[in-house]
């Protein structure tokens, strides 16, 4: 380090000369500059405090002029006395001038000067800085210009041509792409611009997407990769030799009728598909076949030699031709036609059992083997086609059907048909055996009384039970029993009481047959009771729990249960009022206490052996009606201003003399949000609290709550009041202390972080100004630390800190420290990983790892890449910042990091990870096979279509299924029929899943006839497979539909509004759902449609507002008809009736008060109980007269009616309870009416049981 001192214009300028060599964009730049070390400046100095360099030379220029006169800054680039360019020219500058300027060095080479001029009104100051530019020619990467190869199979020699404009290529890396991934080959370092690699491709059978790539390295840079291809590698083997001919080679006396030629061999060791060509006497008779047999249809000549051979060809054209085989046919003889006679069933036979075995007798005079084909209704029976036996068993025949049959016989020379016979199958037999139900004791029953009766029901849904076959056994021994026939014709077997042993497991067996000899055996067991002493049950009251304090007239819902260790609970008993008389026998009763008293509730239970428990008790204390307490807030009650400790005043009392507990709440926002101030206070009438705990405000309210343990009351200040307390005065910040570096510290880094202790006693925000050598270095710092950089080495500095809040400024003491001596140190290199990012998923294989390295000293960096803690050989000590990694495993997690060194220090990067992609796969098409229906099958009613759908790539039930059908309409043409070409496919169902391979088809929805079915399966990739089955019949018994009927129409009016509710009851004989009704109302001389809704099955509600439509009409009529989705029923008409809305018209305001009779049913709440239905009816008097009103509830479906009477005072409302009898499960409409001779009202309610 060198210090130079200049005295200019009576000012002392201290400049530190620094030489900084830097490499930038191929240019080597040397700088000379000056930096102040005193922190004080004369009137016109120029101080260069920092020089930073990247692509260009960067100068930081600072100028200061004390007199505040304007001056000019001029910066020139010169070489000798020649000015090359003006870097900056700035006029009118005052005070401090600080700017950065760039010098473009791209076209410079040599020594230059940067001259800095500051020209004032009365003085001038100049400085010159030396600039040296040494241009360095950058490296040009090598290039791979060509890749070639000499073969596409076996040993392949790859050759690459590479060159380097700057020197020599040091090595070339080869990689080959096959099996859809890159494979590293070899790095050739001895190429001398001719680089080779010998590759053995015999492990590759066939790949038409092979590529080769190469990349060259010149010792400094890698070239761009060159990729050639794709090309095809094929290492193929021909199919194996053909062997084992049939007929055998040189065979003699071969029949002139040969069904087929066959052979063995011809397999392919590579797994390729193989096809076969068969040549017979020089002619190709079977070409491109995939099976090892060929049908021979021609009839050969007698006593003739024939030649044949087979060639096997794989999918790449490699061919193996087999040897030529010969055989000689038989000598000619005279043939006699065979004869045939049908045997059974005889022609015209009736009631033939199913299945049936057809038999016949065939004969051939020449002793030839005879082959038979059976025809049923002119269709060949597949499994009896070309058979040699003289019988055929037919299983899939329809019952009660006429069949025609004949047999065709051949000796392979002559063919003869038998006569055509017929037979009729039997009526469909009953195959369902009888069954049992209603076992007593139940199967596997436990604790059965030892003197039990055994009862079982037996029934048959077919021809009936054969009473003579019924047998019952107990413990393996037949027993006598009685038989009864119930109303449904089912038999009941009853064994009178048998005495068993305790803890005995009893085995019972019942067997029987029906009149069609279908038999059944039913066995079951039960276990008798144990001989034990009965344990007394225990009664437990579940709710309420504990002593109850209630007011007179309170109804309590009780719940209890019993427990019995050796039996079950059969009865309950409650005594609520201490009179020893049972009040309820329910498990969960209710009871109303109407007298002030203390009651002991007794609850008992009885077990199945009639033993009563001891009572469980509960105390009920019935009190007279309690009155709520009264409370008034006296102070603050609005408008007051509270400060310091304030006293809240209130008045609270209870006319029942109950002790009161006081709570006080407070709100600061006029009651929007409340907070608790005090709880559990005695009734003292006052409470003191410290207002200083609350923020000043003008929206405060006080709420006082008084609670007598049964009910509470509260009062709030009539208006808001104010809380105001004087705020504390501000205090100055603490004086900065505890400096780091400590005062007088030495060997301090030239990049220190200054730290101190500050703060403020009031907790105010404090900011800090930092002065270095009495120069303001930073201001308004909020943290209690500040970092400096690039201080001078071996220099003493002074510093202090000024602390400021909004009002005060406090200056800390001045502290000193001395920086360290200059030591030339190596700067560690840095490295950042780039790609693939940490945690990356589905990374392609191969992967290129990239990173970014930097060395502040400009040292050359060398990188070594680690994959799963193992060095990648090809990326060891490289200088490039990327590495290609091949041979990775699919769908695997790898970790990697890079080690960088400048040959002085070694630094490791972070450890990152990535997951490779899934191994590519090819979709496999799904497969579908229809199981049923089958060809020629007759189906009806609800029929299960079944199929099997499979896919190697996904689950069966995730496949999409489409089912279609098409009717085969047959058009008569003379004596034959042809399919109608105009029938189209209809979609039966689109299934989003495979549905376990089954779909139930309601064939009743289509016409009877002959059909085709097609099922298509589609996988997630859109690949499909389908199969069809044709010529199956749909044959359903056509059932005549009965049209639905409207059975009744009832109208209900609301006298307030003129709204009429019509209830339409419907019925369908077939049990079909009624989907629509057509309801019309006749008024004003024409019919009008009214909309309706089905509230419950077969009951429709039609709402009509007549208020603004009809004033008066005495010829109104309703009609309706119903639709079941197939037919409309007959129209139901009501009698004519009158609609009169004149009473709803507004009347003129009376001059005197008149009587107004009006009441309304406000609400009806139904409640279904165990033994009845209760309707809770809310009726309200809306007139000005007392009313005696009759209530009537009518169940519309049954017509059952219940009445009640109620007296309503003026403007009074009343709840009434109407009890209806328990009904069978279902949905019912109940019309509730309120009426007297002055007014009426009604409401409909739906009750579901």
Q: What is the pLDDT of residues 517-556, one digit of tens each?
A: 889 999 999 998 887 777 899 999 999 998 888 888 899 9
- Of 329, 352, 369, the residue at which a domain comes to its end is 329
Band of the pLDDT at 839, cuts 50, 70, 90? very high
Pair of tokens at residue 174: 């080869």
Question: What is the spatial distance between Cα 1046 and Cα 1136, in angstroms, rounded to a whole number?
Answer: 17
Which strand ranges, in their side-by-side order, compose the sheet holding 482-485? 435-440, 454-459, 491-495, 482-485
Question: What is the spatial distance between Cα 161 and Cα 619, in angstroms, rounded to a whole number?
Answer: 109
Question: What is the spatial distance between Cα 1154 and Cα 1147, in angstroms, rounded to a whole number?
Answer: 12
Pair of tokens at residue 1101: 């509600």
Position 219 scores a pLDDT of 82
- Check pLDDT > 60 for residue 352: yes
Return the DSSP state at 442.
Answer: P
Q: Over range 579-603, report the average pLDDT.
A: 91
Residues 415, 442 within the same domain:
no
What DSSP line would sit under 606-659, residue for residue? EETTSPBPPPEEEEEEEEPPP---EEEEEES-SS-EE-SEEEEEEEEE-TT---
- Of 723, 756, 790, the residue at which a domain comes to its end is 723
Distances (CA, A) of 1214 to 20, 904, 1053, 1207, 1237: 104, 101, 22, 9, 20
Rounded to 5 degrees, what angle do the CA atoms 930, 932, 937 make? 130
Contact yes or no for 413/335 (Cβ under 8 A): yes
List 471's β-bridge partners, or say none. 511
Q: Over range 1005-1024, report the average pLDDT.
A: 89
Contact yes or no for 831/851 (Cβ under 8 A): yes
Residues 1023, 938 within the same domain:
yes
- Check pLDDT > 90 for residue 1196: no
Question: What is the spatial distance between Cα 1179 and Cα 1215, in angstroms, rounded to a whole number?
Answer: 6
Residues 43, 127 within the same domain:
yes
Position 958 scores a pLDDT of 86
CATH number at residue 936: 2.60.40.10
Domain assignment present for residue 1138? The answer is: no
Helix (H, G, I), strand (E, B), or coil: what is residue 1085? Answer: coil
- Check pLDDT > 80 for residue 970: no
- Read off φ and ψ for residue 674, nearest 5 degrees: -115, 145
Return the DSSP state at 956.
Answer: G
Question: What is the spatial distance between Cα 932 and Cα 950, in angstroms, rounded to a whole number?
Answer: 17
Q: Over range 609-619, report the average pLDDT.
A: 91
- Check pLDDT > 70 for residue 58: no
| Closest by CA position to 173, among listed 151, 155, 195 | 195
Residues 903, 978 within the same domain:
no
Position 28 scores a pLDDT of 28
Residues 149, 266 within the same domain:
no
| HEC readout, 661-728 | EEEEEEECCCCCCCEEEEEEECCCCEEEEEHHHCCCEEEEEEEEEEECCCCEEEEECCCCEEECCCCC
Contact yes or no for 885/895 (Cβ under 8 A): no
What DSSP line would sit under 95-138, residue for residue? SEEEEEEEE--TT--EEEEEEEEEE-SS-EEEEEEEEEEEE-PP
Question: What is the spatial distance between Cα 740 and Cα 746, in angstroms, rounded to a whole number?
Answer: 12
Length of the chain, in residues: 1249
Q: Tokens 């960096």 map to which residue?
A: 861
Domain assignment present for residue 654? The answer is: yes
Highest mean pLDDT among 66-70, 214-218, 407-411 belongs to 407-411
H helix or E strand, kind and range, residue 833: strand 830-835
Position 1024 scores a pLDDT of 92
Question: What is the spatial distance between Cα 358 and Cα 354, in angstroms, rounded to a whole number?
Answer: 11
- Check pLDDT > 70 for residue 167: yes
* Count of domains forming the chain: 11
- Check pLDDT > 60 for residue 934: yes
Residues 372, 319 within the same domain:
no
Q: Over range 619-643, report the average pLDDT.
A: 89
Pair of tokens at residue 559: 């719940």
Distances (CA, A) of 424 to 86, 342, 692, 1036: 123, 16, 112, 21
Contact yes or no for 646/634 (Cβ under 8 A): no
Position 1054 scores a pLDDT of 59
| Closest by CA position to 191, among listed 155, 156, 160 | 160
Contact yes or no for 429/517 (Cβ under 8 A): no
Position 969 scores a pLDDT of 53
Position 21 scores a pLDDT of 32
Domain assignment present for residue 801? The answer is: yes
- Check pLDDT > 80 for residue 869: yes
Locate the DSSP E strands across 1106-1236. Answer: 1112-1123, 1132-1133, 1137-1140, 1159-1168, 1172-1181, 1187-1195, 1201-1208, 1213-1221, 1227-1235
Pair of tokens at residue 1039: 């059932």
- Check pLDDT > 90 for residue 1103: no
- Check pLDDT > 50 for residue 805: yes
- Of 595, 623, 651, the residue at which a domain comes to its end is 623
Distances (CA, A) of 551 to 476, 599, 601, 620, 626: 69, 13, 16, 10, 7
Q: Is the peptide bond before 636 cis (omega within 30 degrees of 0)?
A: yes
| Closest by CA position to 929, among listed 1010, 1023, 1001, 1028 | 1028
Residues 6, 128 within the same domain:
yes
Output 1180 or 634, whichever has higher pLDDT. Answer: 634
| Closest by CA position to 867, among listed 920, 917, 909, 828 | 909
Question: What is the spatial distance between Cα 841 and Cα 913, in angstroms, rounded to a whole number?
Answer: 9
Domain assignment present for residue 1121? The answer is: no
Q: Which range has the worst mean pLDDT, 465-474, 718-727, 1073-1082, 1162-1171?
A: 1162-1171
Residue 1029 buriedness (CB in 10 A; 0-12 / 13-18 / 19+): buried
Q: Which range has the worst mean pLDDT, 709-718, 852-861, 1036-1045?
A: 1036-1045
Domain assignment present for residue 120? The answer is: yes
Output 1114 or 1150, whichever has higher pLDDT. Answer: 1114
Position 29 scores a pLDDT of 27
Distances (CA, A) of 930 to 310, 944, 1002, 1020: 37, 12, 18, 21
Position 5 scores a pLDDT of 25
For strand 181-188 and strand 194-200, is the pairing parallel, antiparallel, or unpaired? unpaired
Q: Which range has the worst mean pLDDT, 119-123, 174-178, 489-493, 742-746?
A: 489-493
Position 559 scores a pLDDT of 96
Residues 50, 115 within the same domain:
yes
Position 703 scores a pLDDT of 94
Q: Is the peptide bond before 1057 cis (omega within 30 degrees of 0)?
A: no
Residues 108, 150 within the same domain:
no
Evaluate the CA torsion angle 832, 838, 844, 845 in order and state its sign. Answer: positive
Question: What is the spatial distance between Cα 337 and Cα 2, in angstroms, rounded to a whole number?
Answer: 134
Output 496 or 426, whichever has higher pLDDT. Answer: 426
Question: What is the spatial distance between Cα 59 and Cα 88, in angstroms, rounded to a whole number?
Answer: 11
Domain assignment present for residue 1180? The answer is: yes
CATH number at residue 124: 2.60.40.1930
Residues 287, 230 within the same domain:
no
Position 982 scores a pLDDT of 40
Position 492 scores a pLDDT of 64
Q: Which range has the worst mean pLDDT, 423-437, 591-605, 1049-1063?
A: 1049-1063
Domain assignment present for residue 1095? The answer is: no
For strand 445-448 and strand 519-528, is the pairing parallel, antiparallel, or unpaired? parallel
Give me the half-sphere count of Cα atoms (radius 13 Å) on the Cβ side of residue 176.
25
Question: What is the spatial distance between Cα 536 and Cα 613, in angstroms, rounded to a whole number?
Answer: 6
Distances (CA, A) of 490 to 92, 391, 442, 510, 945: 124, 44, 19, 15, 36
List 715's β-bridge partners, or say none. 704
Q: Tokens 């037999």 map to which residue?
A: 429
- Check pLDDT > 50 for residue 802: yes
- Check pLDDT > 60 for residue 811: yes
Position 1126 scores a pLDDT of 86
First to last CA, the chain: 106
| HEC readout, 319-331 | EEECCCEEEEECC
- Check pLDDT > 50 for residue 37: no
Domain assignment present for residue 1109? The answer is: no
Residues 90, 12 within the same domain:
yes
The whole domain housing 744 covers: 737-819
Instruction: Dump pLDDT digits (tens) for 105-123.
Output: 777 778 888 888 778 776 7
What average pLDDT does the structure give for the chain? Answer: 84
Position 973 scores a pLDDT of 32
Does the reported pTM lie above 0.75? Answer: no
Residues 364, 469 within the same domain:
no
Q: Is 931 left (phi over 0), alpha (psi -120 to 50) or beta?
A: alpha
Position 279 scores a pLDDT of 92
Output 290 or 194, whichever has higher pLDDT. Answer: 290
């Amino acid at each position: 380090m060198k210090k130079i001192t200049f005295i200019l214009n009576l000012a002392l300028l201290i400049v530190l000369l620094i030489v900084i060599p830097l490499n930038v964009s191929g240019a080597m730049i040397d700088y000379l500059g000056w930096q102040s070390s005193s922190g004080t400046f004369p009137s016109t100095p120029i101080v260069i405090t920092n020089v930073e360099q990247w692509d260009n030379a960067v100068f930081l220029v600072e100028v200061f002029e004390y007199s505040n006169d304007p001056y000019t800054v001029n910066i020139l680039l010169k070489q000798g006395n020649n000015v090359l360019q003006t870097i900056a020219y700035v006029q009118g500058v005052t005070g401090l001038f600080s700017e950065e300027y760039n010098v473009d060095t791209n076209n410079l080479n040599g020594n230059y000067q940067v001259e800095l001029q500051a020209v004032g009104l009365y003085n001038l100051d100049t400085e010159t800085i030396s600039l040296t530019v040494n241009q360095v020619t950058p490296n040009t990467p090598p290039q791979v210009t060509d890749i070639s190869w000499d073969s596409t199979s076996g040993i392949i020699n790859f050759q690459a041509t590479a060159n380097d404009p700057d020197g020599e290529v040091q090595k070339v890396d080869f990689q080959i792409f096959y099996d859809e991934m890159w494979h590293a080959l070899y790095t050739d370092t001895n190429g001398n611009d001719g680089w080779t690699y010998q590759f053995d491709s015999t492990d590759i059978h066939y790949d038409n997407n092979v590529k080769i790539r190469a990349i060259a390295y010149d010792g400094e840079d890698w070239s761009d990769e060159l990729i050639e291809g794709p090309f095809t590698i094929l290492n193929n083997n021909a199919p194996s030799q053909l062997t084992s001919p049939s007929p055998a080679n040189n065979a003699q006396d071969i029949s002139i009728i040969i069904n087929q030629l066959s052979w063995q061999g011809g397999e392919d060791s590579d797994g390729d598909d193989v096809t076969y060509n068969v040549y017979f006497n020089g002619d190709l008779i079977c070409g491109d076949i995939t099976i090892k047999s060929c049908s021979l249809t021609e009839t050969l000549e007698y006593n003739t030699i024939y030649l044949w051979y087979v060639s096997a060809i794989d999918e790449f054209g490699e061919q193996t031709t087999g040897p030529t085989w010969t055989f000689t046919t038989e000598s000619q003889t005279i043939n006699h036609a065979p004869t045939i006679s049908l045997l059974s069933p005889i022609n015209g036979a009736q009631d033939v059992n199913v299945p049936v075995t057809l038999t016949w007798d065939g004969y051939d005079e020449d002793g030839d083997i005879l082959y038979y084909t059976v025809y049923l209704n002119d269709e060949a029976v597949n499994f009896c086609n070309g058979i040699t036996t003289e019988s055929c068993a037919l299983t899939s025949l329809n019952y009660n059907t006429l069949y025609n049959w004949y047999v065709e016989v051949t000796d392979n020379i002559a063919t003869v048909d038998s006569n055509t016979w017929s037979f009729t199958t039997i009526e469909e037999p009953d195959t369902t055996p009888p069954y049992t139900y209603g076992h007593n004791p139940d199967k596997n029953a436990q604790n059965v009384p030892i003197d039990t009766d055994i009862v079982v029901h037996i029934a048959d849904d077919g021809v009936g039970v054969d009473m003579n076959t019924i047998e019952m056994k107990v413990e393996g021994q037949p027993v006598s029993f009685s038989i009864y026939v119930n109303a449904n014709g089912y038999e009941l077997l009853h064994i009178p009481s048998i005495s068993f042993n305790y803890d005995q497991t009893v085995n019972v067996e019942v067997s029987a047959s029906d009149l069609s000899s279908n038999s059944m055996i039913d066995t079951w067991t039960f276990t008798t009771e144990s001989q034990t002493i009965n344990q007394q049950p225990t009664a437990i009251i579940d709710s309420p729990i504990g002593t109850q304090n209630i007011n007179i007239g309170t109804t309590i819902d009780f719940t209890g249960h019993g427990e019995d260790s050796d039996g079950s609970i059969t009865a309950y008993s409650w005594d609520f009022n201490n009179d020893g008389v049972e009040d309820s026998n329910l498990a969960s009763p209710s009871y109303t206490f109407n007298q002030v008293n203390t009651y002991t509730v007794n609850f008992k239970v009885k077990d199945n052996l009639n033993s009563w428990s001891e009572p469980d008790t509960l105390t009920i204390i019935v009190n007279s009606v309690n009155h709520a307490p009264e409370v008034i807030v006296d102070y603050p009650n609005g408008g007051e201003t509270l400060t310091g400790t304030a006293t809240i005043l209130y008045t609270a009392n209870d006319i029942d003399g109950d002790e009161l507990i006081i709570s006080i709440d407070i709100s600061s926002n006029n009651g929007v949000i409340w907070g608790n101030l005090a709880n559990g206070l005695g009734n003292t009438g006052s409470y003191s609290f410290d207002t200083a705990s609350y923020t000043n405000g003008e929206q405060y309210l006080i709420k006082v709550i008084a609670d007598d343990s049964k009910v509470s009351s509260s009062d709030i200040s009539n208006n808001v009041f104010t809380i105001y307390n004087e705020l504390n005065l501000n205090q100055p910040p603490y004086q900065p202390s505890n400096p780091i570096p400590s005062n007088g510290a030495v060997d301090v880094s030239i990049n220190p972080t200054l730290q101190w202790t500050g703060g403020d006693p009031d907790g105010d925000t404090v900011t800090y100004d930092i002065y270095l050598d009495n120069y303001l270095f930073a201001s308004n710092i909020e943290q209690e630390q500040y970092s400096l950089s690039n201080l001078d080495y071996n220099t003493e500095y002074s510093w202090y800190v000024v602390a400021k809040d909004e009002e005060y400024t406090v200056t800390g003491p001045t502290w000193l420290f001395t920086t360290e001596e200059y030591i030339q140190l190596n700067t560690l290199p840095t490295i950042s990983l780039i790609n693939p990012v940490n945690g990356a998923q589905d990374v392609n294989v191969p992967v290129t790892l990239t990173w970014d390295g930097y060395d502040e000293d400009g040292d050359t960096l060398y990188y070594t890449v680690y994959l799963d803690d193992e060095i990648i050989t090809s990326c060891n000590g490289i200088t490039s910042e990327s590495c290609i990694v091949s041979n990775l495993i699919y769908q695997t997690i790898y970790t990697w990091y890079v080690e960088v060194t400048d040959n002085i220090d070694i630094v490791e990067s972070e450890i990152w990870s990535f997951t490779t992609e899934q191994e590519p796969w090819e979709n496999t098409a799904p497969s579908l096979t229809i199981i049923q229906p089958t060809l020629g099958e007759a189906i009806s009613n609800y029929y299960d279509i079944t199929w099997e759908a499979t896919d190697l790539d996904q689950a069966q039930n995730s496949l999409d299924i489409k089912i279609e059908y098409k009717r085969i309409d047959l058009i008569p043409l003379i004596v034959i029929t042809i399919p109608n070409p105009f029938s189209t496919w209809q979609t039966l169902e689109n299934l989003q899943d495979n549905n376990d391979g089954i779909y139930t088809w309601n064939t009743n929805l289509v016409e009877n006839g002959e059909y085709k079915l097609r099922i298509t399966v589609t996988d997630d990739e859109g690949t499909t497979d389908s199969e069809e089955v044709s010529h199956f019949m749909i044959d359903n018994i056509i059932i005549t539909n009965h049209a639905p009927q409207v059975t009744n129409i009832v109208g209900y009016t609301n006298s307030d509004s003129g709204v009429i509710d019509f209830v339409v009851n419907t019925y369908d004989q077939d049990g079909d759902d009624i989907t629509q009704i057509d309801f019309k109302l006749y008024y004003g001389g024409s019919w009008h449609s009214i909309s309706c809704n089905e509230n419950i099955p077969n009951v429709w509600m039609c709402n009509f507002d007549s208020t603004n439509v009809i004033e008066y009409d005495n010829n109104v009529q309703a009609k309706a008809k119903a639709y079941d989705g197939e037919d409309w029923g007959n129209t139901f008409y009501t009698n004519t009736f009158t609609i009169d809305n004149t009473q709803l018209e507004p009347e003129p305001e009376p001059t005197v008060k008149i009587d107004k009779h009006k009441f309304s049913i406000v609400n009806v709440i139904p409640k279904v109980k165990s033994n009845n239905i209760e309707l809770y009816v809310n009726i309200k008097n809306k007139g000005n007269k007392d009313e005696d009103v009759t209530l009537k509830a009518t169940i519309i479906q049954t017509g059952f009616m219940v009445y009640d009477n109620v007296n309503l005072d003026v403007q009074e409302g009343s709840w009434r309870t109407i009890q209806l009898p328990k009904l069978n499960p279902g949905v019912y409409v109940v019309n509730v009416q309120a009426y007297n001779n002055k007014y009426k009202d009604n409401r409909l309610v739906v009750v579901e049981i």
